[in-house]
Amino acid sequence: MTDRSQIEDLVDRLAQEVHETDQPGQVTQELLASLSPLTGAVASRLWIWVGGVPTVSENGVPENTTASSQRPTVRGSAMAVAIHSGAILARYADPAADDLREVANLANSVKPQLLDPLPQGDRSETGAAESVLRWMIPVRKSSRTLAVLEFLQPGKAVDPLPLASVVAELLADLLLDQEVRQLRLTVERRQKEQAFFARLATTSGWQVAAQLIAQEVRGLVGCDRVAVLQFAGKQARLLAVSGVADFDRRSPEVRHLEAMAQAESQVSVKERDPRIQLITDLASGVPIAAVVLEKFGTEVDRRKEAPLQPVSTSRTKPAGINSELLATQETKELAEILRNWQGLEAVVSSILRQQLLVETIPLASFWLRASREFKTLSLRRQVRRVMLFALFGGVVASLFLIPGELQMTGQGAVWPRERKHVFALHAGGVEQIHVNQGSIVKTGDLLVTLHNPEMELESTRLQGEILTLEKQIEATRSARVQLSSGNSDQAAKAAELSAQELGFEQQLQSRREELSLVKQAMSELQIRSPMDGEIMTWDPQQTLAGRPVERGQILLDLGDTHGEWVVDVRVTDQSMGHILSAYVQSPGQGNRPQEKLPAEFVLTTRPEETHTAYVESISESVERDEMGQLYLRLVLGFDRQNVAGLRPGATAVPRIHCGRAPLGYVWLHDLIDRIRLWWQF
C-alpha cells in the first residue's frame, strides 16, 4: 500500500488525465491499473454496455422459451475490459454466462456489492490466496449506470470501497465525456451531411454533381477514393474521381474502372459487390450511375494499388475484380463504410436521377435552380422576388404585345435639289480659277481656265500645214493656166496639174476641219457654269490652282442654294427590305408611292432639332461603296423654310418610318433578322 500523499497525487493525476485526454482507452486502462496501488486489487475489469443495458427476464424466466427452461436469460450485451497480471483482455460476454447476469442485476443498483468468490478455475489467473473478495461497483453519473467496475481483492486487505468509489467516479466522468464527444462527432457528421446535401441540391449538370459527390463522399464514408461513373446505355463513362482535378480518359486505369462498373451492372443483385454501388432508374430499373468506393490498407498499398487491375469484359461478373478495392479484410471496417454510405445513398441517388431528368427537359436546370434558391429566401424576399419576376414577365410580354414604330436609319447629307458637278472636258493644267466658294454665278459665266500645251502645238502645226497647202494650190493653178490647150502634151500636163490641185484642196479642207476641232477643244478649256447657282466647293483656289486634271475629273460643285433642298441617304442592305415593304407601289407608275412615306432627320450641326421629311424617291438598283458594302440610295424631301442653318454636304441622321411592329422586334430587329437568315441557311 502507498501512503496518503502518494494516493492523493495519483488521484489528482488521474483526474487531470480524465478531463484532458484524447486517448480514452489508454486512460481507462490506467484507471483500472490504479486499483492495485489504491485498494490492493489483484485483478479488475470494466463492464461497458454495448447495444443497450443488459436486462434479466422477469422472475428469472426467459421469454419465448419452453417451461422446462428455468435458467434466466439476458437481453443486450456487455464488453469486458479486464486486466490480469498486466495483460489487457477485451471480450464480449456471453448472454448466457453467470457473470453477465450479475452485471445485469447491478444495472439499476446504486450500491456496491460483494459477490461470491470466483470459481476455482478463475482464481488461478489472479495469483492470489484462496481468500479472495469479489467486488462489483456501479459506475454511475446523473442517476444513470454507465458501467460496472469489477475487481478482486485479497480477503485481508483494507476496505476498498472509498478509493474504489473514487476510481468509479473518474471512470463515470471519462465515460460521460466519451458520450459527449461521440455525440458531438455525430452532430458534426450530421451537419457535414446536411451541408453536403444542400450543396448537392443546388448543383446543375451531371459533371458538377459528380465532382461534388466524389470529393465530399470520400470524407463522409471514410474511403480513400471515390469514383462516379455515368451509364450511357450499357457503356459506363467515368465523370469524376476524388482528389483528381483532371484525368486521361484513354488511360488503362480509367478504362479498367469503366469496364468494372459495366460488368458489375450485368450481374444479378445478389452477386454484385457492395463496394460498387449502382444507382438505377426507378421506372425502368436500368443503371444510370455507379459510385465506386476504394480504400487501401497502407500507404504502400495505396501507391501500389491505386491503379485498378485489369478485369474481364465478359457479360459475367469478372473474377479478377480488384482485390484491393476497399482493401481491408476486416468485415467491421467494411460494414462501417457501407453503413455510412447508406446514410447518403438516398439523397445522392435522388440527385443523380434528378440530373438525368434535367438533361431531358429544356431549361429544366434553370427553373430547378431558381426554385431551390427561392425556397431558401425569407417570406419578405420571396414576395419581392415574385414581384420582380412578375415585372420581368410583364416586360417580356410587352415586347411581343405592345406595338412600336419600326424605324430604319442610314447615312445622309443635305444638298440643294438642283446641283451639278463641273467636270474637266479635257486633260490639262489649271491656269486660272475665276470663282471661290460661295460665289454666285450665272449660266455661261467663266469658272476655270485650263491650259493644254499639246492642243496649242497641234493648232500651230495645222495652221502651218494650211498655209503650205494654200501656196501649193496657188502655184499649181498658175502653172496650169500658162499651158496652151492646143498642144496635146501641154493638155496632158494641165490635166496632171488639175489633179494635183484637187488633191491639195482636199488636204486643205481636212486640215481646216482638224484646226476647227482643235480650236473648239481649246475653247472648252475655258469651263463655264452650266446653271445659275452658288459654288459649293471648299476653297477651289487652294485645291485646284496650278494642278493637272484629267478628263472627266470633277472640278467644282454648283448648286441652287436658294431653292429646294433634299437629304441624300444611303441605307444598308439589311434595312432595304423594311423600307421597300413600307414604300407602297402604284401599279404602272414605277417607283412612286401612293402616299408619302414619313421620315425625319437630325442635322449634326443642330442635334437639338428634329425635322420632318418624307421619302421622295428610291433608286432602282443597289450600289456598292468604296468598301464593297451594298447600299440603297433614296432621297428625302422636306420644307426648307422650317430648317435653319443649311449647309451643303452637312451630315444628317435620317430615320425612315416603316410602319408598326412588336416592341421587341423594333429594338432587336437587326439581331432577329440575322438569326432568321442563319436559321434558314
Express each pLDDT in 319-362 by its tens digit.
Answer: 333 333 333 344 566 777 787 888 788 888 888 887 777 766 66
Cβ atoms within 10 Å, residue 352: 23
Rounded mean pLDDT, 12-29: 73
User: Which CATH number does the domain 4-185 belong to among 3.30.460.10, 3.40.220.10, 3.10.290.10, 3.30.450.40?
Assistant: 3.30.450.40
Task: State residue 369's pLDDT score.
Answer: 67
pLDDT at 175: 79
User: Going by C-beta distance under 8 Å and a sequence separation of 6 or more, which residues neighbour residue 10?
Assistant: 2, 34, 37, 38
* 172 has pLDDT over 90: no
Q: What is the pLDDT of residue 269?
A: 78
Q: What is the pLDDT of residue 416?
A: 93
The strand order across the sheet containing 548-549 reads: 526-528, 446-451, 428-433, 548-549
Confidence of residue 372 (pLDDT cuts 50, 70, 90): low
Cell numbers at 290, concatenated: 455507379
Lowest average pLDDT, out of 13-22, 89-98, 154-163, 611-620, goes to: 89-98
Which range, 25-34, 35-44, 133-142, is most confident?
133-142
202-374 adopts what CATH topology?
A: Beta-Lactamase (3.30.450)
pLDDT computed for residue 101 by the predictor: 65
Q: Which of the residue ranges 146-150, 441-445, 569-573 would you say has the lowest mean pLDDT?
A: 146-150
**Confidence band, pLDDT 50/70/90 cuts, at residue 364:** low
Q: What is the pLDDT of residue 331?
A: 59
pLDDT, mean of residues 518-530: 89
| Most confident region among 3-7, 253-257, 333-337 by mean pLDDT | 253-257
More confident: 469 or 104: 469
What pLDDT was estimated at residue 309?
33
Cell numbers representing residue 511 in the block? 486640215
Q: Which of 86-90, 102-106, 341-345 has the highest mean pLDDT?
A: 341-345
> Strand 623-624 vs strand 630-637: parallel, antiparallel, or unpaired?
antiparallel
Model confidence at 99, in pLDDT bands (50, 70, 90)?
low
| Class of residue 524 by CB neighbours under 10 A (exposed 0-12, middle 13-18, buried 19+) | middle
| pLDDT tops 80 at residue 295 | no
Instruction: Please state, as a whole number, how many other Cβ atoms lie within 10 Å of the Cβ of residue 220.
Output: 16
Report the percentage of the chain scoring pLDDT > 70: 77
The better pLDDT of the pair 407, 312 is held by 407
Residue 66 reports pLDDT greater than 50: no
In order, the DSSP letters of 37-75 are HHH--SEEEEEEEEEEEEEEPGGG--TT--TT--S--EE
Mean pLDDT across 573-587:
71
Asked whether the predicted pLDDT for residue 436 surpasses 60, the reply is yes
Q: How far is CA 617 from CA 412, 497, 585, 588, 633, in A?
A: 14, 69, 11, 16, 9
Mean pLDDT for the chain overall? 76
Give the pLDDT score at 588.
Answer: 38
Q: What is residue 494's three-state secondary structure? A: helix
Place of cell 427537359: 361
Minimum mean pLDDT among 29-43, 52-66, 601-615: which range?
A: 52-66
Q: At 644, is the secondary structure helix, strand, or coil? A: coil
The answer, yes or no, to whether residue 60 has pLDDT greater than 60, is no
Residue of 96 and 504 predicted with greater confidence: 504
- Give the pLDDT score at 75: 43
Exposed/middle/buried for 601, CB within 10 Å: 0-12, 13-18, 19+? buried
pLDDT of 128: 43
* 618-668 pLDDT tens trace: 888 888 887 888 888 899 999 988 888 888 889 999 999 888 888 888 888
pTM metric for this prediction: 0.44
**Mean pLDDT of all residues in 534-540:** 88
For residue 100, the model assigns a pLDDT of 63
Taking only the tens place, the pLDDT of each residue in 600-618 is 999 988 888 999 999 988 8
User: 126 falls in which pLDDT band (50, 70, 90)?
Assistant: very low
| Predicted local distance difference test score (pLDDT) of residue 413 | 93
Q: What percent of the chain has pLDDT over 90?
A: 9
pLDDT at 298 exceeding the cut of 60: no
Q: Which residue has 460498387 as its cell numbers?
A: 276
Q: Say which residues have a Cβ less than 8 Å from residue 287's Cβ, sequence separation at least 6.
A: 231, 265, 278, 279, 280, 281
Q: Which CATH architecture has domain 563-680?
A: Beta Barrel (2.40)
